[in-house]
Amino acid sequence: MNSDSNNLVRFEAVLERFEQRDRTHYIDVPDAVARQFTQTKPVRIMCLLNDSVEFHCALRPKGDGSFFISIGTPIRQQGKLKIGDPIRVAIRKDESEYGRNMPEELKELFAIDEVGNRLFHALTPNQQRGIIYYVDSAKSPQVRVDRAILMIDRLKTNPSGRHE
């Protein structure tokens, strides 16, 4: 483990999968690294794998005092990662406002829809990230616009953002 001038903390890990839980793919974070970021609860970080795949994520507690980073299917595919693969990891605190990059389409909608903007910002950070992820995961700009409108319309009919 080492740190550099970009506030990146580097370490090596191996891609694993929780067999007994939900089969999530993950990498363990060494205790000395995790303690630099958090003590007991999840914290938002930026993670760089093998100097090529960077993504927003959470440093999550396993429940036994240790921490892990979940590695979803799109990240595994992008990095061509398989269970057992050794991985060079670099993490830093996520300084973004939402813990994800806000898609331009959603940002533009908020600029013209005051009610939608207010309702979105009344949600929990986790709910906000879910909407941002859903909108941003669309490949085409038109689908991102459509999804942004859909999500804001849903907020207007269900301001709590909770599923009923």
**82-118 confidence digits (pLDDT tens):** 999 999 999 998 888 888 889 999 999 999 999 999 9
pLDDT at residue 5 in the model: 46
Tokens of 24: 């999530």
pLDDT at residue 42 in the model: 67
pTM for the model stands at 0.75
Quick one: what percent of the chain has pLDDT higher than 90? 59
pLDDT at residue 118 in the model: 94
164 pLDDT more than 50: no
User: Bigger pLDDT: 136 or 4?
Assistant: 136
pLDDT at residue 43 in the model: 83
Indicate the pLDDT class of residue 53, thresholds 50, 70 and 90: very high
pLDDT at residue 40 in the model: 59
pLDDT at residue 6 in the model: 63
Residue with tokens 């709910």: 127
Query: What is the mean pLDDT of the segment spanning 10-29?
Result: 90
pLDDT at residue 2 in the model: 53
Q: Using the CB atoms, write b or e for 60-87: b if 16+ within 10 Å.
A: bbeeeeebbbbbeeebbeebebeeebeb
Helices in the chain by DSSP H: which ranges? Answer: 31-34, 73-79, 104-112, 114-121, 125-136, 141-157
pLDDT at residue 86 in the model: 95
pLDDT at residue 61 in the model: 87
